[in-house]
C-alpha cells in the first residue's frame, strides 16, 4: 500500500496541483506509520492486527484507508482473524457515525458519507460469511450511513436496527434474515435484494426501489411503503399487517399467502 501511494504522490504532484494537499496528508501519515513498522521487521499477523486496530482508534482519517488495506490482507492470509477484523470494522463504523435523531438529520439532509466509512463498509460487505463465528452477528445498528454504496453486499443476518440507510445503494444485496426494525431505507435502491425472512417492522421504505426484491416471509409489520416501487417483488408469506402505503400497487399475485 505504501508503495502504491508513494507512486501516486510522485506522479500527481506534477500535474494535479489542486489535489496535492489531500494526497500529501495521506502520504505523510502512511510514511510515518511505515517507519514505525520498519522498527519491528518481524511483525506477526497478530501484532500487525493489534497495530491496525490501534491506528483506527486514533481517529486519523488519512491513515485509516491504508489500515483497511492492511486488514483486508490479514483477513485473506489468516482466516482465523476474520471475525476479530469484522468486529473492529463494525465498531469503527458505530463509533464514528452514530445514529442521529431525525431533527438533526433534517438539518443536514445531504450528508456525504466519509471515504474511510465507505471503505470500512466495503470490507464488511465483502466478508466471507462462512468464516463467521456461529451465533455471532455483525452489528451496524443505530448508525448513520446514508448514501452508502452497498451494492451486492453480503449483510446476511446483520443487525441494522434503527440504522439510517436513506438513499443507500443496496442493489442485489444479501439481507437474508437481517434485522432492519425501525431502519430508515427511504429512497434506497433495494432492487433485486434478498430480503427473505428479514425483519422490517416499522421500517421507513418510502420511495425505496424494491423491484425484483425477494421479501419471502419478511416481516413488514407497520412498515412505511409510501411511493415504494414493488414491481416483480416477491411477497409470498410476508407479514404486511398495518403497513402504511399510498401510491403503491401490490398485485394480488405477488401477495401469495401474505
| Confidence (pTM) | 0.78
**Contact (CB, 8 A) for 73 and 66:** no
23's enclosing H/E stretch is: helix 20-38
Instruction: Note the maximum CA span of the chain.
Output: 67
Q: Exposed, middle or buried: residue 133 (CB in 10 Å: 0-12, 13-18, 19+)?
A: exposed
Q: How do residues 132-184 score in pLDDT, each as one tens digit?
A: 777 789 999 999 999 999 999 999 999 999 999 999 999 999 999 999 999 99
Question: CA nearest 213: which of 237, 189, 246?
Answer: 189
Q: How do residues 186-230 score in pLDDT, each as one tens digit?
A: 999 999 999 999 999 999 999 999 999 999 999 999 999 999 999
C-alpha 124/C-alpha 93 separation (Å) is 10
C-alpha 84/C-alpha 102 separation (Å) is 32
Architecture of domain 146-258: 3 Solenoid (2.160)
C-alpha 240/C-alpha 31 separation (Å) is 55
Q: How do residues 104-137 score in pLDDT, each as one tens digit?
A: 766 666 568 999 999 999 999 998 877 777 778 9
* The residue to which cell 469484522 is assigned: 86
Q: Count CB-CB contacts under 10 A for residue 45.
A: 14
* The residue to which cell 493489534 is assigned: 50
Amino acid at each position: 500500500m505504501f508503495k502504491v501511494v508513494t507512486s501516486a504522490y510522485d506522479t500527481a504532484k506534477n500535474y494535479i496541483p489542486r489535489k496535492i494537499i489531500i494526497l500529501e496528508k495521506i502520504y505523510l501519515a502512511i510514511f510515518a506509520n511505515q517507519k514505525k513498522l520498519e522498527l519491528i521487521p518481524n511483525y506477526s499477523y497478530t501484532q500487525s492486527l493489534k497495530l491496525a486496530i490501534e491506528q483506527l482508534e486514533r481517529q486519523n482519517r488519512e491513515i485509516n484507508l491504508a489500515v483497511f488495506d492492511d486488514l483486508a490482507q490479514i483477513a485473506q492470509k489468516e482466516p482465523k482473524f476474520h471475525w476479530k477484523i469484522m468486529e473492529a470494522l463494525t465498531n469503527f463504523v458505530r463509533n464514528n457515525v452514530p445514529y442521529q435523531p431525525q431533527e438533526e438529520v433534517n438539518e443536514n439532509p445531504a450528508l456525504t458519507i466519509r471515504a474511510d466509512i465507505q471503505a470500512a463498509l466495503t470490507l464488511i460487505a465483502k466478508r466471507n460469511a462462512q468464516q463467521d463465528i456461529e451465533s455471532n452477528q455483525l452489528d451496524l445498528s443505530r448508525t448513520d450511513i446514508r448514501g452508502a454504496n452497498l451494492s451486492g453486499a453480503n449483510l446476511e443476518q446483520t443487525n441494522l436496527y434503527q440504522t439510517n440507510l436513506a438513499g443507500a445503494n443496496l442493489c442485489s444485496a444479501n439481507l437474508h434474515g437481517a434485522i432492519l426494525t425501525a431502519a430508515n431505507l427511504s429512497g434506497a435502491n433495494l432492487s433485486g435484494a434478498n430480503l427473505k425472512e428479514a425483519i422490517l417492522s416499522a421500517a421507513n421504505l418510502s420511495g425505496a426501489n424494491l423491484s425484483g426484491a425477494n421479501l419471502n416471509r419478511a416481516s413488514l409489520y407497520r412498515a412505511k411503503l409510501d411511493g415504494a416501487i414493488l414491481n416483480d417483488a416477491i411477497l409470498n408469506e410476508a407479514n404486511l399487517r398495518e403497513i402504511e402505503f399510498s401510491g403503491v400497487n401490490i398485485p394480488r399475485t405477488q401477495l401469495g399467502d401474505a
